[in-house]
């Protein structure tokens, strides 16, 4: 990994978005059944938002600019990462901020885990 990518990753960690901070609060310290995630990790020519090496899983938090200005770039980035053997999950920042439980459930499923129970919601049990 070159020094330029390491410096960029460090800078991105210092300038995280609200959605990245909120998601990181749920991914850090092996909170998802022991899966270790790191944030702002260089992978080839890109820095990915969140990375679980053990599962070869990349999780990206995308802001509105990704919809309008960066859609083509994001598609190329996803293709590159998939060619390197990684699975890529993308979430809109708005979804992370307004539906954290749904976001975490999708990550659990990508890890091959059953989603953690959501407090106050019955999962198919008859009352």
- pLDDT tens-digit map of 53-96: 999 999 999 886 545 667 788 889 999 999 999 999 999 999 99
CA of 22: how far to CAs of 26, 27, 102, in Å? 7, 9, 13
Per-domain residue ranges for the chain? 3-110
Place of tokens 């309008």: 68
The pLDDT > 70 percentage for the chain reads: 75
The beta-carbon contacts of 95-102 under 8 Å, at least 24 apart in sequence, are 96/19, 96/22, 96/23, 96/61, 97/18, 97/19, 97/22, 100/22, 100/23, 100/26
Q: How far apart are CA 42 and CA 68, in angstroms?
A: 24
The SS3 of residue 26 is helix
Q: Whose CA is closest to 5, among 38, 37, 33, 45? A: 45
pLDDT of residue 123: 38
pLDDT of residue 4: 80
Q: Whose CA is closest to 104, among 43, 45, 17, 24? A: 24
Q: Does the reported pTM lie above 0.85?
A: no
Could you tell me which CATH class the domain 3-110 is placed in?
alpha beta
């Amino acid at each position: 990994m070159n020094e330029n990518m390491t410096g960029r990753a460090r800078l991105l960690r210092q300038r995280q978005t609200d959605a990245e901070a909120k998601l990181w609060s749920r991914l850090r310290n092996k909170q998802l059944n022991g899966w270790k995630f790191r944030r702002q990790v260089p992978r080839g020519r890109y820095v990915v938002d969140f990375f679980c090496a053990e599962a070869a899983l990349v999780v990206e938090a995308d802001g509105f600019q990704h919809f309008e200005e960066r859609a083509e770039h994001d598609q190329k980035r996803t293709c590159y990462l998939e060619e390197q053997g990684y699975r890529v999950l993308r979430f809109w920042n708005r979804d992370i901020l307004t539906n954290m439980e749904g976001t975490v459930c999708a990550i659990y499923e990508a890890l091959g885990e059953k989603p953690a129970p959501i407090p106050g919601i019955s999962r198919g049990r008859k009352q």
